Amino acid sequence: MVEFLQQVINGVSLGAIYALLALGYTMVYGVLRFINFAHCDVFMIGAFAGMYIGRHVPEETVWGGLTVLAGAMLICAVLGIVIERLAYRPLRSGPTLNVLITAIGVSLFLEYGAQDEHVFGQRPQAFPQIFPNTSFQLGDVRLSSNQLIVIVVTVILLVGLRLFVMRTRLGTAMRALSFNPKAAQLVGVNNNVVISATFGLGSALAGAGGILYAMNYPSIEPFMGVMPGLKAFVAAVLGGIGNIPGAALGGLLLGVVETFVNGSDYSTYKDAIAFAILILILLFRPAGLLGRSTVEKV
Amino acid sequence: MTTLSLRGLAVLTFVSLAFFSNARADDDTIHVGEIASLTGKEATFGHSSHEGTLLAIEEINAAGGVLGKKIELITEDNATKPGESATIAKKLISRDKVVAILGEVASSRSLEIAPIAQAYKVPMISPASTNPTVTEKGNYIFRVCFIDPFQGTVMAKFAKQTLKATRVGVLTSVSSAYSVGLSKYFKETFAKNGGTIAIEQKFSEGEKDFNAQLTAIKAADVQAIFVPTYYTEAALIAKQARDLGITVPLFGGDGWEAPELLEIGGSAIEGLYYSTHYSPQADTPEVKGFVERFRKRWNGETPDAMAALGYDSARVLADAIKRAGTTKNTKLRDAIAHTKDFPGVTGKTTIDEHRNASKAAAIVTVHNGQFKFVQTVSP
Any CB–CB contact under 8 A between A132 and chain B? no
Residue B141 has pLDDT above 50, yes or no: yes
pLDDT of residue A144: 87
Q: What is the pLDDT of residue B9?
A: 54
DSSP B203-225: E-TT----HHHHHHHHHTT-SEE
- Name the phi and psi angles at A266, rounded to 5: -105, 30
Residue A147 sits at the chain B interface (C-beta within 8 Å)? yes
pLDDT of res. A94: 84
* pLDDT band, residue B91 (cuts 50/70/90): very high
Q: Residue B26 — very low, low, confident or very high, per pLDDT cuts 50/70/90? A: low
- Contact yes or no for B251/B224 (Cβ under 8 A): yes
Beta-carbon separation of B243 and A137 below 8 A: no
| Bridge partner list, A135 | A144
Q: Does B68 touch chain A (CB under 8 A)?
A: no
pLDDT digit string, tens, across residues B63-72: 999 999 999 9
* 3 state DSSP class of B344: strand
DSSP H or E segment with residue B110:
helix B107-120
**Average pLDDT taken over every residue of chain A:** 88
Q: How confident is the model over B149-182, as pLDDT tens digits?
A: 899 999 999 999 889 999 999 999 887 778 888 9
**Phi, psi of B311, rounded to the nearest 5 degrees:** -60, -45
**Residue B11 pLDDT more than 80?**
no
Mutate to test the interface with A, among B208, B230, B262 (most CBs of A within 10 A): B208
Between B139 and A94, the more confident residue is B139
What mean pLDDT value characterizes chain B?
A: 88
For B234, name the nearest residue in chain A, comparing CA atoms only. Answer: A219
Q: Say if A102 is an interface residue toward chain B (CB within 8 Å).
A: no
pLDDT at B86: 94
Closest partner residue to B235 (CB to CB) among A6, A219, A259 is A219
The more confident residue out of B59 and B81 is B59
Instruction: Supply the Cα-derived Rg of chain A in whole angstroms.
Output: 19
> HSE-up of B378 (CA within 13 Å, CB side)?
4
- Cβ separation of A218 and B236 shorter than 8 Å? yes
Q: CA of B212: which chain A residue's CA is closest?
A: A263
By CB atoms closer than 10 A (0-12, 13-18, 19+), residue A229 is buried
ipTM of predicted assembly, 2 dp: 0.81
Task: Please answer yes or no on whether A7 and B202 come within 8 Å at the CB atom.
Answer: no
Q: C-alpha angle with apex B324: B319 to B329, nearest 5 degrees?
A: 105
Q: Which residues of B touch A124 (CB under 8 A)?
A: 232, 260, 264
User: By the CB < 8 Å criterion, does B221 face chain A?
Assistant: no
Mean pLDDT is lowest, of B6-15, B128-137, B275-284, for B6-15
B24 — pLDDT class (breaks 50, 70, 90)? very low
CB A12 within 8 A of CB A38: no
* Contacts (Cβ under 8 Å, ≥6 apart) of B311: B52, B53, B55, B56, B290, B294, B303, B344, B345
| Closest residue in chain B to residue A265, using alpha carbons only | B201
Tell me how many degrees the CA angle A132-A137-A141 measures, rounded to the nearest 5.
120
Q: Is the pLDDT of residue A296 over 80?
A: no
- Nearest residue in A to B246, CA atom: A142
Which tens digits make up the pLDDT trace of A200-219? 999 999 999 999 999 988 88
Per-residue pLDDT, B1? 42
pLDDT at B82 over 90: no
